[in-house]
Chain A
Amino acid sequence: MDAMSEEAPVTTHLTIKLFATFQRGRFTLETREFAEPPTVAEIVDGLAIPRAQVGVMLVNGSHVEFDDRPADGSTVAIFPVIGGG
């Protein structure tokens, strides 16, 4: 068997940044590996963040929706609604 012909599993690496109250009990910045390219919604759900509390989602500085799938190597920033002042 030719080992070179075996395809390595494709994984997606994303840098995830959390802001404000989403940092509590989680992290501020992490790089995570996903077996399949996730949607933003799947990332949010995987972090146990209620979708209704999400205010702004950015991928590489562009605004995205829950059903967007960030490309490998992207930076995903997730903010709650910032209501204080």
Chain B
Amino acid sequence: MQGKPQVTTDAPPAADRYSRQSRFWAIGAEGQARLAAGRVVIVGCGGLGSAVIAQLARAGVGHLVVIDRDGVELGNLHRQVLYDEADAAAGTSKAVAAAAAVGRINAGVEVVAVVAEVTADNIESLVADADVVIDGTDNLETRYVINDACLKAGIPWVYGGAVGSTGMVMTILPGETACLRCLLPTPPAKGTVETAATAGVLVSSVVMVAALQWTEAVKLLLGDREHVNRGLVAFDVWTNDHVQSAGVPRRPDCPGCGQWRT
């Protein structure tokens, strides 16, 4: 029998939608409810940000704030998985395009788009209600701003970086672990850190970093701190290398976390 395919706009029942995820031993129905109540702020909607946003939306994390000041460009599309040629042609704001994509992926997720540059002046209000903050930025200056604000507010955040075929991830738990300034105490001189624009980057290294950031965020939303990665993860997808550090030492004189030590 032939006929038009039936289309429904009704959202599928949550139990069906997340059944494969909630069957995972660490999540379950209770964990899925925690994810639905979770609030995540994603600073930067480029390669890392867009991949993490897509995964959080698919996982049913209920409240997302997506922040970026830039518009989508054609040169973003090879690695920034939420956007398409129409976004690039229109130069649509990444935050707006990301929020629209979240709406298409999962209508049950509340998403707020913020088109703004993140600075020391606005970061505290932007992250105030977050359970977790995700680093989707492409520069060290903004990461230090995130670091200091999250330490002050006691909000965990997940640093991620990718260049070439190398990626790096570190979870910062204020008062418990080292912070970004413990890892990188001396901010590199401006223009000396290579990025996708200067050294190139593979979509696989970006998405792999984003996947690890998503995993750390979900552990935190579930309250499973036992399994949060306390070390630094670094890898090279091209040369097949993977490094897990034993733990980043806290610096007694750290200008970031020293004054908030318990």
Interface residues of A (CB under 8 A from B): 17, 19-21, 23, 28-29, 52-53, 55-56, 58, 61-63, 77, 79-85
Contact = CB atoms under 8 A, between A and B. Distances in A.
A85 B249 CA distance: 24
A84 B199 contact: yes
A56 B249 CA distance: 12
Given A20-B199, A56-B168, A77-B234, A85 B193 contact: no
Contacts of A17: 241, 243
Contacts of A28: 236, 239, 241
B194 A80 contact: yes
B54 interface: no
Contacts of B72: none
Interface stretch (B58-66, B112-120, B181-189, B252-260): B181-189
B206 interface: yes
B243 A77 contact: yes
A62 B246 contact: yes
Contact of A84 (B162, B236, B239, B246): B162
A46 B243 CA distance: 23
B204 interface: no
Q: Is the interface of A mostly helix, strand, loop or mixed?
A: mixed
Q: Is the interface of B mostly helix, strand, loop or mixed?
A: mixed
B27 interface: no
B167 A83 contact: no
A21 B197 CA distance: 13
B38 interface: no
Contacts of B167: 82
A85 B161 CA distance: 5
11 contacts: A17-B243, A20-B164, A62-B246, A79-B168, A79-B234, A82-B166, A82-B167, A83-B195, A84-B161, A85-B135, A85-B209
Nearest to A22: B166
Contacts of B165: 20
A82 B180 CA distance: 12
Given A17-B243, A20-B163, 11 more contacts: A20-B164, A52-B192, A61-B244, A81-B193, A83-B140, A83-B188, A84-B161, A85-B44, A85-B48, A85-B206, A85-B209
